[in-house]
């Protein structure tokens, strides 16, 4: 991704996951907002609809989803995950024990400096609505991971065992 695309991706991540209200953007309960409204904000002035579509299509972490509004067809966008704001329906699919798509393990990226806390308290969603897990490590075949590139700790979760312990897991639909 070029620097310009990275800047747009980071700005969209902030707006769609954390800052829509602070920025005066009107996000629906499903997390979608109109692309035209996003682009009208001064922070997004240099960008076009084509720029947004390109970033969505080429984002290796698949952070965003575009759709046509069901009633008027206008283009909308949302972040798929990582929200600190409450979003009602992210189209998350429950992971169920014994289902064919139930992975044997999932991975959470973190930092060695946090290991002591993780050992004593477990993983924390902090200010977000979910704890992010991936089906494997970044770079492995078929793995889409939001893990930061500078993570130096991978926490592996035994998913069937975690599900047996009454933890709820979801995958992005």
Mean pLDDT score, 114-133: 82
Q: What's the pLDDT tens digit per position in 13-37?
A: 999 988 888 999 998 888 899 999 9
- Token pair listed for 106: 């999932």
Q: What's the pLDDT tens digit per position in 42-57?
A: 999 999 999 999 999 9
- Pick the most confident of 75-84, 85-94, 103-112: 103-112
Look at residue 1 in the predicted model and tell me its pLDDT. Answer: 62
CATH of domain 3-79: 1.10.10.970
Q: Where in the chain are the domains?
A: 3-79, 92-172
């Amino acid at each position: 991704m070029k620097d310009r695309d990275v800047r747009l991706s980071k700005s969209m991540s902030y707006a769609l996951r954390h800052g829509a209200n602070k920025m005066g953007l009107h996000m629906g309960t499903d997390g979608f907002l109109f692309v035209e409204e996003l682009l009208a904000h001064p922070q997004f002035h240099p960008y076009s609809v084509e720029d947004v579509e390109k970033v969505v299509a080429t984002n290796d972490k698949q952070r965003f989803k575009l759709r046509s509004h069901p009633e008027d067809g206008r283009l909308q966008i949302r972040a798929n995950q990582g929200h600190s704001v409450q979003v009602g329906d992210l189209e998350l699919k429950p992971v169920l024990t014994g289902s064919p798509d139930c992975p044997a393990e999932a991975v959470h990226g973190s930092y060695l400096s946090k290991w002591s806390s993780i050992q004593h308290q477990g993983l924390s969603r902090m200010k977000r609505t979910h704890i992010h897990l991936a089906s494997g490590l970044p770079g492995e075949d078929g793995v889409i991971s939001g893990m930061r590139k500078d993570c130096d700790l991978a926490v592996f979760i035994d998913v069937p065992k975690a599900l047996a312990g009454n933890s709820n897991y979801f995958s992005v639909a």
